[in-house]
Amino acid sequence: MAEWEILYYNLPLAGRAEFIRLIFEEMGISYSEPIKSFDEIREMVFNNGIGGFPVQFPPVLRKGDFHLGQTPVICKYLGEKFGLVPKSEEEKWQAEQVNATIHDFVAEGRLAFHGKRWIDSYHNQKEETQPYIDWVAKERIPKWLKYFEEVLKRNNDGQGFLFGSELTYVDLGLLQCLRGCEYSYPKAFEAADYCPLLKAFKTRMEARPKLAAYYKSERYAKHPQDTNSMM
């Protein structure tokens, strides 16, 4: 049995758990996702059936009696655990700044698809929420992507990673963020000719041997066809 567990919905869903999966996949570390039904996730996470320190929403990382919520916090924790952090103290904090910004972007990108009632399905509010989607695509996507382009360009003219010469957890987070953006806002992403470095970065990251193998495997949970909301 895998030592690490991700507690998340049992659907074939990339979702927020994908940020965590990519770290394990890149590092070649086994993990499992034991949740088999929505009733289980409701009991274990929403109703605090795990016990111990409370968590509010999935995904949850569990190892024995230790469990941790909040995707960006989990990514930082695993980054520290597996040596996926920049070398200098200053860059460690700058990396965490970018990590937080990535998840802010994902949250905003998702919310546009739930503009009437944010916890309801996108398909129950398609017409009402379309103006929000259009506004984010036109006004907000460029602001986010231009920021990440600038960060990437600062290091080695954008030809490598975000920090230094080695992969960090933030590179993996940015990869998933860009994949989510491309899926949910395909026209805006395709038209984003102002971020050539980001697009090249995404292609390089997807070609890394372990990630490329993961994307072709049965473990890979594609972006959901029924939510369309940067998940």
Element (H, E) at 79: helix 71-81
**Lowest-pLDDT range of 85-89, 109-113, 137-141, 220-224:** 220-224
| φ, ψ dihedrals at 168, nearest 5° | -125, 170
Domain 89-208 annotated CATH 3.30.540.10: no
26-81 residue pLDDT tens:
999 999 999 888 888 888 887 778 888 888 889 999 999 999 999 999 999 999 99
Intervals of CATH 1.20.1050.10 along the chain:
89-208
Q: Is 108 exposed, middle or buried (0-12, 13-18, 19+ CB in 10 A)?
A: middle
Predicted structure pTM score: 0.94
82-135 residue pLDDT tens:
999 999 999 999 999 999 999 999 999 998 888 888 777 787 888 898 999 999
Structure tokens that stand for 28 in this block = 């070649």
Intervals of CATH 3.40.30.10 along the chain:
4-81
CATH for the 4-81 domain, from 3.40.30.10, 1.10.10.10, 3.40.50.720, 3.20.20.70:
3.40.30.10
Element (H, E) at 92: helix 89-111
Q: Is 54 exposed, middle or buried (0-12, 13-18, 19+ CB in 10 A)?
A: exposed
